[in-house]
């Protein structure tokens, strides 16, 4: 019974560790993703502060407006400034990263064109820098124009997994694996009937009902497996029963065997027999009966 409880507790603890491992893993994965996005945000802001004059000069704005009129839809320009790439530490040189300039002209309609590979990208927050009314230029040639900037970096789930802290989830996963392996040992131990194992090893035993006695070990084994746990006195009395002819014992013989030199052991014997009866009736198909008030007989309970 105790082994069965330990086995189930081991499995339950293993599942708990497995759940904690996945929980910490998802948390650390999300944290790694947030750290990359935060770095993209910071690199974009610092690069924008340094190079804004190049991206927003009058000539650049006129070029943006021309592109917006030409394509009749929002336009996306991509670049990978050296200063921006140098500010990235979580993104390796082999990964694609850069800054996108989104151009919305007055005549442009629709949404930004969607990059089919964008699902493998991480992007920063968008910086909206410029919104010009139609009369912003004296000649009136440059109509309303809006610019926004966003940084990006190519990142796959495997790349984020490489960045995340794997120490805690990995340790919990290893502990769960160890507990699962241990649980198999406990379940196998639970299913192994000890009494039958002794017989298989060729050791002599005495059987009565569903109880077997091993004189070599002075232990009692249940037929379905497991040792019957008895107190030393209960074990001594049951041993006398198994070894006696017809499994019958006289009260006087029991007292002389268990309490030699004690003048009156009747009350002690009565208590011992009563407790042994309860143990046998609870765990075996044996019972102790009284023969004419002078002897006790150990026999199989036909009602069980």
Residue 109's pLDDT is: 52
Residue 5's pLDDT is: 77
Residue 168 lies in a domain: no
Q: Which residues contact 28 (CB under 8 A, 6 or more apart)?
A: 164, 165, 166, 168, 169
Tell me the Ramachandran region of residue 87: left when phi exceeds 0, alpha when psi lies from -120 to 50, beta otherwise. Answer: alpha
Residue 186 lies in a domain: no
Q: Are residues 81 and 146 part of one domain?
A: yes
* 147 CA to centre of own chain: 48
Question: Which residues on adjacent β-strands are paired with residue 295?
Answer: 250, 291
Residue 187's pLDDT is: 66
Q: Are residues 206 and 126 part of one domain?
A: no
Q: Are residues 209 and 71 part of one domain?
A: no
Give me the domain span that covers residue 291: 194-300
User: Residues of the chain whose pLDDT is less than 50?
Assistant: 1, 137-141, 190-202
Residue 189 lies in a domain: no
Residue 31's pLDDT is: 92
Residue 127's pLDDT is: 87
Q: Are residues 87 and 35 part of one domain?
A: yes
How far apart, in Å, are the Cα atoms of 256 and each of 238, 249, 273, 289, 299? 15, 11, 15, 20, 22
Residue 185 lies in a domain: no
Q: Give dist(CA 244, CA 297) in Å, integer.
A: 10
Residue 118's pLDDT is: 56
Indicate the number of domains in the chain.
2
Residue 51's pLDDT is: 86
Question: Which residues on adjacent β-strands are paired with residue 78?
Answer: 100
Contact (Cβ atoms closer than 8 angstroms) between residue 197 and residue 210: no
Q: Are residues 221 and 139 part of one domain?
A: no
Residue 42 lies in a domain: yes
Report pLDDT digits (tens) over 100-157.
988 886 655 555 555 555 567 888 998 887 655 555 544 444 556 788 899 999 888 8
Contact (Cβ atoms closer than 8 angstroms) between residue 39 and residue 78: no
């Amino acid at each position: 019974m105790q082994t069965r409880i330990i086995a189930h507790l081991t499995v339950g603890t293993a599942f708990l560790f497995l759940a904690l491992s996945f929980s910490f893993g998802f948390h650390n994965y999300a944290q790694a993703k947030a750290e990359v996005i935060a770095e993209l945000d910071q690199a974009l802001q610092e690069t924008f502060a340094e190079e804004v004059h190049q991206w927003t000069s009058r000539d650049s704005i006129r070029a943006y407006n021309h592109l917006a009129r030409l394509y009749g839809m929002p336009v996306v320009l991509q670049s990978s400034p050296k200063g921006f790439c140098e500010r990235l530490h979580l993104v390796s040189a082999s990964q694609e990263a850069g800054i996108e300039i989104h151009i919305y002209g007055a005549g442009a309609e629709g949404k930004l064109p969607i990059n089919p590979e964008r699902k493998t990208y991480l992007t920063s927050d968008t910086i909206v820098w410029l919104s010009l009314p139609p009369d912003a230029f004296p000649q009136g040639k440059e109509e309303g124009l809006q610019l926004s900037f966003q940084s990006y970096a190519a990142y796959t789930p495997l790349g984020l997994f490489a960045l995340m802290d794997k120490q805690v989830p990995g340790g919990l996963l290893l502990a769960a694996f160890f507990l699962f392996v241990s649980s198999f040992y406990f379940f196998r131990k639970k299913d192994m009937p000890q009494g039958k194992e002794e017989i298989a090893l060729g050791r002599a035993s005495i059987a009565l009902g569903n109880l077997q006695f091993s004189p070599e070990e002075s232990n009692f084994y249940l037929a379905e497996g497991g040792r019957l746990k008895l107190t030393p006195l209960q074990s001594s009395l049951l041993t006398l029963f198994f070894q006696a002819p017809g499994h019958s014992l006289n009260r006087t013989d029991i007292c002389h065997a268990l309490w030699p030199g004690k003048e009156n052991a009747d009350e002690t014997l009565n208590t011992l027999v009563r407790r042994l009866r309860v143990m046998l009736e609870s765990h075996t198909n044996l019972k102790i009966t009284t023969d004419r008030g002078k002897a006790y007989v150990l026999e199989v309970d036909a009602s069980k």
